[in-house]
Amino acid sequence: MIGRARTARGFTLIELVVVIAIMAILAVFMVFFLATPVEAYLAQSRRAGLVDSADHVLRSVVADVRTALPSSLRSGGAGSVVAVEMLSIAGVARYYGPGEKSGLPPAQQALEELSIGSADTDFYTLGEFVSMNGAYLAVGTQMTMPGAYSFGSVMTPLPKSFTVSPVGVTVEDAVHFSGAGFDFAPAPDSPTQSVFLVSGPISYLCDTAQHTLQRYSGYTVTAAQPLTDAALMAAGATRGLIAQNVSACTVSIVPAPASGAFDELLILEVTLASSGETLTVFDEAAPEYVP
């Protein structure tokens, strides 16, 4: 028997070309239908990231400004950097002025009242901040508070020379200065008779060259405002990133009104940008307390 020969048959060149052409057409349609949703998703992700950064900027800056020592806001710039600095308070209490403890024996009255304009070693406060952590005490007025950065007679310097202890059931604190005491000498006295427990300085550096907004804390108070990352780190600061993608930053500080109804006003405007998406953050904030 003569066997029937079998022949193997594959794809012809024309068939391969047709298949490739069909696949190319399908790929074009897939790109056409998928590109728009993918790009929309990426754009939405970028916008969500900018919104999150904006929220972080507002929450951080506003919270620090509201707990700042009255009249301690200051700003400056160096190259691509805009800097804002403030003194953060851990607590506030009311001191007793002359004559407010007149019902006590003279020695006890002198112990509990604060003498403004002369060195005093002891005074009591209405309201307790003994459990709060602070390195400085400050008493001043709207005009004198900016001098807290150079200490003088507005804020106590380091090393810390005072202690705060609870009096007891009277809900008062006793403040004691070592040595010859300390002379708070604002002119005139604090209109609210407020004494502030200051924890230390806080700075924000907005760097449009590095596209960052950074927060600095835990460094030494200096009379001259530190305006660079290097200066702050050399002073012992701890640095934290608040936002990236910063393309513009403007800071204005409006002086406190003569009425003393409220303190300085910080006006902040920060522009964030990422791959064509932009978002401008604008807010105003003032310290919660007045001198």
263, exposed or middle or buried, with CB in 10 Å at 0-12, 13-18, 19+?
buried
Q: If you count them, how many residues does the chain have?
A: 291
Report how far apart, in Å, the C-alpha atoms of 133 and of each of 52, 88, 198, 215, 235 are.
31, 11, 8, 20, 20
pLDDT reported for residue 1 = 46
User: pLDDT per position in the chain (291 positions), as tens?
Assistant: 455 555 556 667 777 777 787 787 777 766 666 666 666 655 567 677 778 888 999 999 999 999 999 999 999 999 999 999 999 999 999 999 999 999 999 999 999 999 988 899 999 998 878 778 889 999 988 888 989 999 988 999 999 999 999 997 788 999 999 888 999 987 678 889 999 999 999 999 999 999 999 999 999 999 999 999 999 999 999 999 999 999 999 999 999 998 888 899 999 999 999 888 899 999 999 999 998
Q: Is 165 helix (H, G, I), strand (E, B) or coil?
A: strand
Whether this model's pTM surpasses 0.75: yes
Beta bridge partners of 277: 274
> What whole-number distance in Å separates Cα of residue 282 and Cα of residue 291?
27
Residue where the block lists tokens 């609210």:
192
